[in-house]
Every structure is written in structure tokens, then in C-alpha cells.
Amino acid sequence: MVANPYWSLEGIEEIEENNYKLRIHKNRPHTIDQAFRNTVKKYPMKEAIVAGNERWTYAKYDEKVDRVASALVEKFGIQPGDRVALLMNNHILWAVTFLAIARAGAISVPLNSRLQGKEILYQMNNSQTRLLIFDQEYFNRIQPFREEFRTIQTFVINGLCDPEGWVDYRELETYPSRNINVQRDETDGASILYTSGTTGLPKGALLTNRNILSIAVAVIDMLQFDKDDRMLIFIPLFHVTGLVGMLVAMFVTGGTLIILPGFKRHEIPQIIQEEKITATIGVPATFILIMESPNYQKYSRETMRCIVYGGAPSPPDMHQQLRDTLPKDCLLVEAYGLTESSSNVSIFPITKDRKVYNKYGSIGVVNPVADIRIVDEQGNDLPDGEIGELLVRSPGVMKEYWGNPDKTAEAIKDGWLCTGDLVSRDNDGYLAIKGRKKQMIIRGGENIYPIEIENVLYAHPDILEAAIAGVPDRIMGEEVKAVIVLKEGVSMDAAQLQEFLKTRLADYKIPKYISFVRELPRNPAGKVQVDKLVNL
């Protein structure tokens, strides 16, 4: 077996998959339900999940899961492989419902809570969902389209006092527990997560039990999570990182998950102290905003041992600010992943004695169960230092785009997932994101990678968020445009920012157009809509 030299292969084996080999952990659970049952058996009275005033042990969590699973199978006739969707906020019933769907042998379809009615309708019809479970606040998005849901037979609503014509979620919660045990395999579908490209219709990435669990176990191994960890989650559970790297990782290892209904930056410092939080994951902007809260210095962070960030460029000063205000042994780790790879692909390497080999400006090295290639437009492998598209092969790579064989064939070639991300690799094996394949700007024949400019912009102490787009130009073909969100209480104009960039970027990379906005345009998954930047 050949793997990145930063990681040990102890406990990892090779398996055959479609005429190629994959690395995967030997002692892995084979289904999500099996993983959860293993932990329930091992730690029945240990605290499993905290949300608001609710505190459940693993035994109580299991009882709740089995009641809902029993109702799905016996009351509503859910069969193995059926799709069951959940449109719910971050709360304890999301965590129950996800595991109940897995126990019933069905495929969960977690929906983004920012979706509007027609977007929900498309994803439900595309996935041929049989049953939809949703919080009452989404009633007005669903009710107008009720007759257009082609395959949904049952609508379950949580929180409505008198849901006439709809099933009350309480019927699932109070259903007699039948100790449901549906046989499923690690290669069976477990969840469909819809990707959110900035153009075109979203595609449903079908993740198997193996996909999800292989990456969850790898995350546990790399970050050295154990039963004593207490993970704070404020990112959405419907995102692949929230689902795989946080919820699943915690119940696989026997840790405790503390769920917030959303990003409550002024409450988080107090929660870290009172709940003795050890780990959390977020995008860089969330940690900047937490540190800027007046409550940040009021509370202790002495229990923190791991913070992971990714999904956007991290300002250089953010890491130092975290380093200065967290325990010395708290891991600060940048990572990279995507929905189609079940989350993690690369991460800063960590030694067994908890030393992080960080290299800022990079997204770390490939994880121990993944292989990568960096290729040119013709699919030829490129040497270190050159920029090309990142291809990934790992046990986390999705099975398919649901019901879309053409897009699946475009995305996965001989087991290699074509990410669409442009990267380079240095001599130490560290990867650096250079941009999206479809978002490269060509100005007067010069290739410009938006991420390079964004990284420089994030070095400015007054900038909270930044995004770059190419705008049509009659002479140059394209010009560079920057859209900036400033931190609270500061001001800046375009000339001042261009002056800042003059000594940091080649002249042709300096944005000709600069707009200042209160927030960046984002799609329902929170990704910046690059096509909308042009008109701001």
C-alpha cells in the first residue's frame, strides 16, 4: 500500500472495488445503524446528545430512534432503499430522524433549510421521496405545492398543534418500540445530499454506508477523537461536514454532540465554558465573528482541544488570534472536502503526540485513505508545482448522482472523482487551492486564479469576506472584480484597497472594479454565487 508519508497505515487495509484498490480502516462498522448500536451497547448511560434543555444518554437516544424507525416501517410501510426526506432545523429530532431512517433501511434525503418551495419540490421529485418530515415553520413553503409532489405518500409535520390532513411527528415519537433490525450492506445507499453548484440544477450525491463511515472513521483517527470529546455543532447538520465529520463521527466514537439551532456567536463563548466543549468545526468567518464578540473574553476556553476550519480562505491573522486565545495544546487544523467525497479529502497532518504540521495558505495533505492526481486539460498527470484539476479516489467517493448517469460519468472516471477544483502540490505534499476550473479569469491572455487574490484580500485586517469574479471587457476579454464585506465599524474605499494590493499582487491581478456590500450573495447551501457578483 502506498499512502501519504505523514500518516500511519496501521489499522488500514486494501479492498478491491471495480478493478481498482481502495484503502479503508479494518475495524470499521459496516452500516450507520450498526455503528450507532455498537456505541449504545458500549456506553448506554453516557451522555450522547445535548440540545437546549434536552440531555440524552445513548440508551435514551436509541429508544427514541427505535420508536421513529418502528413507525416508519410498520405504520408507513417504508421499505429498504425507499427515500425519506427531512427538512428540519438543527435540533435533537434531526439527529433522531436521521438515525431512524438508517435503522429502517431507507435512504435519508436531508434538505437545506434555506430552500424555497419550488426547490424543495424539485429535489423531492428527483429523488422520488416517499415520505417527508418537516418542521412547522416550513409549512408555507410546502403546502402550496402539495399536489405536485409526485411520489410523496406521507407528510409528517413537527410542531403544529392541529395538523389536519398531515401526520403529527408525535405519532412517530410515541410509537411502540419494535427493535427494528433491517439488514443492509456497506455498499447500500444511506443518504442523498444535494450539491449546490452556482449554475444549473442541483445534483443528488448518493452516499453509501461505506462512504460515510469510512470518512467518519478517518476523521476520528486523524483528529484523535474519543469518547471524552464534546463536539459543538453550529453549522447545519444537512451539510456533509455537519453530518459526517460531526454527528456520525461523534456517535461512532462515543462522544457527545452539543447542537445549536444556528450560529449564535454571542452565546457560543458561554456554551464552550459551561458544556466543556473540546472540539468544533466551521468556516473561517465564524471563528472571526466569535472572537469579535464582546463575550469571547468573558468565558474560559480551557477545555478546547481541536478546531477545524475550511470551506473558504482563512485570513493569516485568524490563526494567530486563535492561537493566542486558546490552550497551547488545542489543535488548529485546516481541511478540505466536498459533498461527493463524503467530506474530507485533505487536512493538516497531526502526529500521535498531537503536533500539527501546518503550512498556511495550503489545505494540508491528502488523508490516509485517499489518493489524488493533479491533471491538465487532457488528463495528463502534472508535476509538483504546476496547477491542474484535482482528482480524488477514496472509499468516500459517492456511488453516483441520483438518477443522472450522464453527470455521474462526467464526474467519476475509473473511480477518480473530478472535483473541478484547481490545485497545486508542493514538494512536501501540501495542496493549495488555486480556484475553480470554471471560474478562472483570462485577462489579456493571462490566467488569473480568483483564490490567489482572495487570499491576499483576507490578509487585510479590515476585511471580513471577499469574493472575486471576472467581468466581460471589450479590450482585455475579462477584468477582475472584487466584492468586499468589511468588518463592523470600519470604512474603506476602492482606491485605498487598490493601494494596499499594489505591493502584494502583479498589476494585472489587481481588481479594476471593487464593490462594498453588507453580505455576499449565496445560494441555499451558503456558497457564494459568483455569477451574481458581476452586477453588484
Nearest CA to 341 out of 394, 381, 272, 293 is that of 394
Residue 435's pLDDT is what?
77
Residue 448's pLDDT is what?
83
Each domain of the chain, given as residue ranges in start order, spans 440-533
Contact present, 281 and 229 (Cβ < 8 Å): no
DSSP labels, 395-441: TTS-SEETT-HHHHHHHEETTEEEEEEEEEE-TTS-EEEEEEGGG-E
Residue 521 grid coordinates: 450573495
For 419-446, what is each residue's pLDDT tens digit?
Answer: 999 999 999 999 998 877 777 787 876 7
Strand ranges inside 209-342, DSSP E? 230-233, 256-259, 279-282, 306-309, 331-338
Residues in the chain: 536
Residue 2's pLDDT is what?
44
Q: What is the mean pLDDT of each run of 10 residues along the chain (536 residues)?
A: 68 88 92 98 98 97 98 97 97 98 98 88 96 95 94 92 82 94 96 74 94 97 96 95 97 98 95 98 89 95 96 81 94 94 95 87 93 95 95 98 95 94 94 82 78 88 92 83 94 94 86 94 79 86
Residue 525's pLDDT is what?
65
Contact present, 470 and 476 (Cβ < 8 Å): no
Strand ranges inside 292-377, DSSP E? 306-309, 331-338, 343-347, 365-366, 371-375
Residue located via cell numbers 465529520:
245
- Torsion over CA of 338, 343, 345 and 350, rounded to 10 degrees? 140
C-alpha radius of gyration, the chain, whole number: 23
Phi, psi (degrees; rounded to nearest 5) at 40: -60, -45
CATH number of 440-533: 3.30.300.30
Q: Which residues, 6+ apart, have CB-to-CB distance to 501 below 8 Å? A: 456, 457, 510, 511
